[in-house]
Amino acid sequence: MGNISYQDVTKEFNDGAIVAVDDLSLEVEDGEFLVLLGPSGCGKSTTLRMLAGLETVTEGEISIDGERVTGLEPRERNVAMVFQNYALYPHLTVEDNIAFSLRMNTDLDEDAIREQVVETAELLDIQDLLEKKPGALSGGQQQRVALGRAIIRDPSVFLFDEPLSNLDAKLRADMRTELTRLQQELGVTSVYVTHDQSEAMTMGDRIAVMNDGKLQQVGGPNDVYDHPANEFVAGFIGEPSMNFLDVRFDREDGPRLTTTGDGGSFVYPLSEAVADRLGVSDGARLTLGVRPEDIQVDVEATGASGRAQRTTVDVVEPMGSDSFVYFDVDGTVWTGRTDRIDRQPGSELVYEFDESALYLFDEDGETIKSIGTGEGSFHRETEEPLVQE
């Protein structure tokens, strides 16, 4: 089937004025579902399009199944692609849309093609639409036709370029499940581009996070969530996103983190055990991070840990199952995800979060400590980087 390998791939536009992808190296295993995740303009689509052959590679090599494809035409790569706008051929019926690649690539006679088209259509539950033109279909149906067009090829690689972003929320969730099911059924290596982290978390075997053309981290959904390689990944993954605060690390009078903002009151005592393993010098400037769901509210203000903080409520958003509470922490607004609470804006709130839930990043944004207090939580202790080459 198809494993994919990017080796030191760089893509420049406008004679190097824009570096869309910067020295990217990445391996995708046979049958794996890899999600390329990042904000718009991060180079993830370009990465995918280079694999499809729709963009040239400025430097580096791409291979599929051990074969160098860098200079090959798209049609010579045996990949199938689903586009964001579906890119169906408007003048052809659904049947002809799905059959297009067979007519281009194979010598099958019309009966055999018809048979395969019907089979594919049944798999996607669109057998009743075969005579229609794409313009007469709903967004979800068009999406299925686009999938059918990709599946029928039996390609070595599926490429998805934000295929669900034009669908409404309900349909998107359904299609997500269906796509995952299909991919598992067919077992075809897939690369899926999205900016939607919930799509990435639910669908990917592994997630490759990109920003500014650079690969930030590759790992399983929970790895990337629990142990982000840097501040960008930590902030990008998770909804609502992680809360950050600029702090200073002090060892005198017991290790603690103190806000660097003027007139701030945030002080967070650390245990000696944790402080020792950070590998950070006294007085270092760090960024503290904590996920909204790790924040406990309405704790006793004088708890034994000494980590409870007082603040005022900005606003409470009821979400049904739980509530988002926004509050001020030394000039920045933090979010807490809590059980249902009802609180007036401006009222007092006492919150705290456990030392194990604490994330710390250095001045370059590299992670010093991620969730937990075990091995793998202290990034300066582990020799091997979490970014898998």
Partner 1 sequence: MSERQATDGLVPRRVREALPYVVLGLYALWTLVPLAWMSVSALKRRGDIIQLSFVFEPTLKNFRLVFFESGVPGFLFNSVLVASVSALVAVFFGTLGGYALSRSDMRGKKHLAFWIISTRMAPIAVAIIPLFFLFTRLNLLGTYAALIIAYSTFNLPFAIWMMRSFFDEIPESIEEAALVDGATRWQAFRKTLVPLVAPGIGATAIICVVFAWNDFLFAFMFSNQDTQTIPVSAAQQIGQEGIDWGIVMATGLVILAPMVAFGMIVREYLVEGLTMGAVKQ
Which residues bind to partner 1, rule: CB under 8 A? 52-54, 73-75, 79-81, 83-91, 100-101, 104-105, 134-135, 142, 149, 153, 159
Q: Which two tokens stand for residue 361?
A: 């990043």
Number of Cβ atoms within 10 Å of the Cβ of 282: 11
How far apart, in whole angstroms, are the C-alpha atoms of residue 343 and residue 314?
9
Q: CB 350 → partner 1: shortest distance, Å? A: 51
Of 87 and 341, which CB lies nearer to partner 1 in the complex structure?
Answer: 87
Of 48 and 295, which CB lies nearer to partner 1 in the complex structure?
Answer: 48
Q: CB 385 → partner 1: shortest distance, Å? A: 34
Planar angle of CA 159, 163, 166, nearest 5 degrees: 165
Is the separation of the CB atoms in 159 and 179 below 8 Å? no
Of 193 and 207, which CB lies nearer to partner 1 in the complex structure?
Answer: 193
Q: CB 101 → partner 1: shortest distance, Å? A: 4
Planar angle of CA 265, 268, 274, nearest 5 degrees: 160
Q: Which two tokens stand for residue 385?
A: 């980087």
Q: DSSP 3-state assignment of 378?
A: strand
Of 139 and 269, which CB lies nearer to partner 1 in the complex structure?
Answer: 139
How far apart, in whole angstroms, are the C-alpha atoms of residue 56 and residue 340?
52
- Among residues 184, 185, 210, the alpha carbon closest in space to that of 195 is found at 210
Q: CB 192 → partner 1: shortest distance, Å? A: 15
Distances (CA, A) of 1 to 4, 75, 116, 190: 10, 17, 20, 11
Please write down the HEC assignment for all residues of 270-334. CCHHHHHHHCCCCCCEEEEEECHHHEEECCCCCCCCCCCEEEEEEEEEECCCCEEEEEEECCEEE
Of 105 and 312, which CB lies nearer to partner 1 in the complex structure?
Answer: 105
Q: CB 74 → partner 1: shortest distance, Å? A: 4
Q: CB 325 → partner 1: shortest distance, Å? A: 42
Q: CB 289 → partner 1: shortest distance, Å? A: 38
Of 41 and 74, which CB lies nearer to partner 1 in the complex structure?
Answer: 74
Number of helical (H) and strand (E) elements in the chain, helices listed first: 9, 21
Angle between helices 94-105 and 139-151 (to 10 degrees): 20
Is the separation of the CB atoms in 40 and 195 below 8 Å? yes
Of 94 and 275, which CB lies nearer to partner 1 in the complex structure?
Answer: 94
Please write down the HEC assignment for all residues of 228-273. CCEHHHHHHCCCCCCEEEEEEEECCCCCEEEECCCCCCCEEECCHH
- Among residues 319, 322, 78, 33, the alpha carbon closest in space to that of 185 is found at 33
Q: CB 49 → partner 1: shortest distance, Å? A: 8
Of 137 and 270, which CB lies nearer to partner 1 in the complex structure?
Answer: 137
Of 106 and 382, which CB lies nearer to partner 1 in the complex structure?
Answer: 106
What percent of the chain is helix, strand and coil (3-state, nearest 5)?
A: 30, 30, 40
Of 135 and 320, which CB lies nearer to partner 1 in the complex structure?
Answer: 135
How far apart, in whole angstroms, are the C-alpha atoms of residue 304 and residue 37?
41
Q: CB 103 → partner 1: shortest distance, Å? A: 9
